[in-house]
Structure 1
Amino acid sequence: MEYITQKGDTWDKIAYEQFGDETFIAPLFAANPDYIKIAVFDFGTKIIIPTLDKADDSIFLPPWRRSNE
């Protein structure tokens, strides 16, 4: 999936809007290595939004946020 940034978007804001949790920045970085150094986006940058497998998404969370299931 692709996301077109809005002026003022940040990685954590995009992660929250797309995944429901601002801590899911790592998969966004992995899918968009050319933009890692951008902290605040301008309008119109195309960001790849990776599909997360629900079984694997906890690997991107800090240990205290992971479930013990």
Structure 2
Amino acid sequence: MTPSGQYILHVTTAGERWDLLSWRYYGDPTDYSPIIMANPNVPIEPVFDAGISIAVPLQQKSAAVTANLPPWKVSQAVSD
């Protein structure tokens, strides 16, 4: 889930990749699709050059993620 219009601006360094951005911001290297979709003007290259501005959509924790957690873990999962 992406809140409409809420992004983090990331300026790349040489050698960064879509999966590394996904790992850094979402904790999952395979969840790079929202980042790619939010940046239609950025060519899908295997490795970035330095200085490319990337909009990284903020993602909210899903209720399904917290549904099976004990109460003392829910607030921690939501605040991450």
Q: TM-score per shorter chain, which class?
A: 0.7 to 0.9
TM-score normalised by L of structure 1: 0.73
> 1:7 maps to which residue?
14
37, 40, 46: which one aligns with 2:53: 46
Rg larger for: 2
* Structure 2 unaligned blocks of 5 or more: 1-7, 69-80
Amino acid at match of 1:20: G
Q: Distance in 2 between matches of 1:21 and 1:5?
A: 18
54 and 13 in structure 1: CA distance in 2 versus 1, 3 angstrom threshold: same
1:32 and 2:39 are equivalent in the alignment: yes
The 4+ residue runs of structure 1 with deviation greater than 4 A are none
Q: 1:34 offset after TM fit, Å?
A: 1.6
For residues 22-49 of structure 1, what are the alpha-carbon distances to aligned partners after superposition, in whole Å with 9 as ceiling and x for unaligned? 0111110111112242221011000001
* Structure 1 unaligned blocks of 5 or more: 59-65
TM-score normalised by L of structure 2: 0.64
